[in-house]
């Protein structure tokens, strides 16, 4: 029997039919529509992540020396789609004490320097919009064994840089070594000396050419890196080819090297030894850094540094003082931060100028000192006299000591307290003798002449002195013998302080 659709009158008379009829009909329509839609739609594949098209290649494993610059190469890394890559290198593992780091770590070909023995593993990550990829490379760092130098150098010889790390020796010297031929030492070479050994560059054929660079010093050190482990370098050779540049001399002074004196390096005066010395370091020597004997020659001297030596950084004879340059550094934790001058005469010859140093290091006279030529002291120069020492301007010499209002020339005692040195004595009658804008102090430890103590004395001499402070004498400020000539206004144009006796004594 066919069901009849209710009429409008029936629906009006029975509202419950409305919900039933429309609910069933709506469901039927919705179900039919769903089948229609799904029946018309084509099958679709769910999207997936695109395939990574990158492959990192950190290059081949390498075996290198500690201190050697390692060149890494990730340029074989590829993206099959041809898109450019971004590089990032890191050190994944390294020896415990290593502080090595990658230089230019975001490039395809960076570098790094292994600083400890052991294995280094570096990781390369390449990336772009198509993905990323990683690869690792192993670098094994070792140290070659040093060559033993146990025979004198009697033929022309070149020592090469075998190990790039300056903390490791290229050569070991087990016993004292003499050079009687030409020896060239290349940049970066490190020579380590066993206990109490010495290195002699002999005259009569021996010479040394050791020219390092700013980043590849030539080093002469102890096998044990302690002060006073080996004896030092003795230069006997008078060859004008001797040159030392960018070198380091350290840990010497275990025994005296010459004349009962310890030093990192010494120049022998009797054989007229000579050297050109530049940009070099003398440090941690149990004695002086450098000893220059009278009769030897500093052919050139520039930008050298002296630090942490037990005695002064340098002791030099009077004739070589004018070779010292303003830029060299003599003050730096030495036993005495001075330039010591050892020798009695500054002999007759051409006029000489002693300049000041940028680090304000004073000159110290270790014994009585006589000037027999023209000596000019530049503004800022300080001359200290050791105990009871006198500085004399003899009849053949003269003194020009002109400071400025802000940069005085100073004459004083080494102790800087009380009357500790004899003072300054003028014998010269030269009209060029002049002292201006200076300070003279702490003289008069003993009688300087005629039983008199004074900071400054003229004995038959001639001097003009102005704008100078004269103080703390153990006797007179100035003593002038009857035959001497001092500017008439010396008492008023100078300042006198704390002198034990009169400011000026004019003998009549």
* pLDDT tens, residue by residue, 363-402: 999 999 999 999 999 999 999 999 999 999 999 999 999 9
- Quick one: pLDDT band at residue 14, thresholds 50, 70, 90? low
Q: How far is CA 17 from CA 9, 10, 28, 107, in A?
A: 12, 9, 16, 81
Asked if the model's pLDDT at residue 152 lies above 50, the reply is yes
**Residue 8 in tokens:** 């409008």
List CB contacts of 92: < 8 A, sequence separation 6 or more: 121, 122, 123, 136
Q: Which residue has the tokens 């004073």?
A: 362
> What are 45-52's contacts with CB under 8 Å, separation 24+?
50/130, 50/131, 52/130, 52/131, 52/132, 52/133
**Residue 38 in tokens:** 């799904």
| Percent above pLDDT 70 for the chain | 90
pTM to 2 decimals?
0.81
CB neighbourhood size of 352 (10 A): 18
Q: Strand 111-112 vs strand 70-71: parallel, antiparallel, or unpaired?
A: antiparallel
Asked if the model's pLDDT at residue 345 lies above 90, the reply is yes
Q: What is the mean pLDDT of the chain?
A: 92
10 Å CB burial of residue 379 (0-12, 13-18, 19+) is middle
Q: How far is CA 143 from CA 63, 166, 174, in A?
A: 11, 11, 20
Phi and psi at residue 91, to the nearest 5°? -90, 110
- Quick one: pLDDT band at residue 336, thresholds 50, 70, 90? very high
List CB contacts of 26: < 8 A, sequence separation 6 or more: none
pLDDT at residue 20, as a whole number: 45
pLDDT at residue 413, as a whole number: 98
d(C-alpha 309, C-alpha 253), whole Å: 9
The per-residue pLDDT for range 153-172, each reduced to its tens digit, is 999 999 999 988 899 999 99
Where residue 235 falls (left for φ over 0; alpha for ψ -120 to 50; beta otherwise) is: beta
The per-residue pLDDT for range 408-439, each reduced to its tens digit, is 999 999 999 899 999 999 999 999 999 999 99
10 Å CB burial of residue 335 (0-12, 13-18, 19+) is middle
What residues does each domain of the chain span?
Answer: 1-34, 55-142, 147-337, 344-508
The per-residue pLDDT for range 254-270, each reduced to its tens digit, is 999 999 999 999 999 99
The per-residue pLDDT for range 447-474, each reduced to its tens digit, is 999 999 999 999 999 999 999 999 999 9
Asked if the model's pLDDT at residue 27 lies above 50, the reply is no
Asked if the model's pLDDT at residue 46 lies above 90, the reply is no
The helix (H) or strand (E) run that includes residue 341 is strand 336-341
Q: How far apart are the first and last CA of the chain?
A: 168
Phi and psi at residue 350, to the nearest 5°? -70, 160
- Quick one: pLDDT band at residue 15, thresholds 50, 70, 90? very low
Q: Under CATH, to which class is 55-142 assigned?
A: mainly beta
Asked if the model's pLDDT at residue 44 lies above 90, the reply is no
Q: Does residue 337 or residue 42 have the better pLDDT?
A: 337
Coil/strand/helix, residue 40:
helix
d(C-alpha 250, C-alpha 289), whole Å: 9
Asked if the model's pLDDT at residue 21 lies above 90, the reply is no
The per-residue pLDDT for range 271-291, each reduced to its tens digit, is 899 999 999 999 999 999 999
Asked if the model's pLDDT at residue 35 lies above 60, the reply is no
pLDDT at residue 439, as a whole number: 99
pLDDT at residue 50, as a whole number: 60
The per-residue pLDDT for range 73-109, each reduced to its tens digit, is 999 999 999 999 999 999 999 999 999 999 999 999 9
* Alpha helices (runs of H) in 192-347, residue ranges in sequence order: none
**Residue 407 in tokens:** 């940069």
């Amino acid at each position: 029997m066919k069901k009849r659709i209710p009429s409008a009158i029936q629906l009006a008379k029975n509202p419950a039919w409305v919900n039933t009829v429309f609910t069933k009909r709506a469901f039927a329509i919705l179900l039919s529509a769903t089948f229609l839609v799904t029946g018309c739609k084509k099958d679709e594949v769910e999207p997936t992540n695109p395939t990574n098209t990158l492959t990192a290649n950190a290059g081949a494993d390498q075996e290198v020396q500690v201190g050697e610059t390692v060149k890494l190469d990730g340029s074989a890394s590829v993206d099959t789609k041809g898109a450019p890559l971004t590089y990032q290198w890191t050190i994944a593992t390294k020896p415990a004490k290593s502080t090595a780091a990658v230089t230019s770590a975001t490039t395809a070909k960076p570098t790094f320097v292994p600083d400890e023995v052991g294995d280094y593993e570096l990781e390369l990550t390449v990336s772009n919009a198509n993905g990323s990829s990683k690869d690792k490379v192993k670098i094994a760092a070792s140290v070659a064994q040093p060559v033993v130098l146990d025979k004198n150098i009697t033929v022309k010889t070149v020592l090469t840089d075998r190990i790039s790390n300056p903390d490791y020796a290229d050569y070991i010297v087990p016993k004292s070594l003499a050079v009687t031929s030409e020896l060239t030492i290349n940049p970066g070479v490190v020579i380590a000396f066993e206990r109490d050994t010495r290195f002699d560059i002999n005259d009569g054929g021996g010479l040394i050419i050791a020219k390092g660079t700013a980043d590849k010093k030539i080093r002469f050190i102890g096998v044990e890196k302690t002060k006073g482990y080996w004896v030092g370098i003795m230069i006997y050779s008078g060859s004008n080819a001797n040159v030392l540049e960018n070198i380091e001399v350290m840990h010497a002074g275990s025994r005296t090297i010459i004349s009962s004196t310890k030093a990192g390096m010494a120049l022998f005066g009797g054989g007229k030894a000579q050297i050109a010395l530049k940009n070099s370091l003398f440090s941690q020597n149990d004695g002086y850094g450098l000893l220059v004997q009278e009769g030897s020659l500093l052919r050139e001297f520039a930008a050298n540094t002296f630090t942490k030596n037990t005695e002064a950084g340098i002791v030099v004879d009077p004739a070589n003082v004018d070779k010292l340059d303003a830029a060299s550094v003599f003050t730096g934790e030495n036993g005495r931060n001075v330039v010591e001058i050892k020798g009695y005469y500054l002999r007759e010859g051409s006029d000489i100028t002693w300049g000041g140093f940028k680090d304000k290091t004073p000159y110290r006279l270790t014994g009585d000192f006589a000037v027999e030529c023209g000596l000019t002291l530049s503004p800022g120069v300080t001359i200290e006299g050791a105990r009871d020492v006198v500085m004399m301007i003899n009849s053949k010499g003269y003194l020009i000591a002109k400071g400025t209002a802000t940069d005085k020339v100073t004459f004083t005692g080494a102790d800087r307290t009380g009357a500790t040195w004899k003072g300054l004595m003028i014998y010269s009658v030269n009209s060029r003798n002049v002292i201006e804008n200076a300070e003279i102090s702490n003289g008069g430890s003993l009688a300087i002449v005629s039983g008199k103590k004074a900071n400054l004395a003229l004995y038959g001499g001639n001097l003009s002195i102005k704008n100078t402070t004269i103080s703390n004498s153990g006797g007179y400020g100035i003593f002038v013998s009857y035959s001497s000539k001092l500017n008439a206004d010396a008492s008023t144009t100078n300042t006198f302080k704390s002198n034990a006796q009169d400011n000026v004594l004019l003998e009549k």
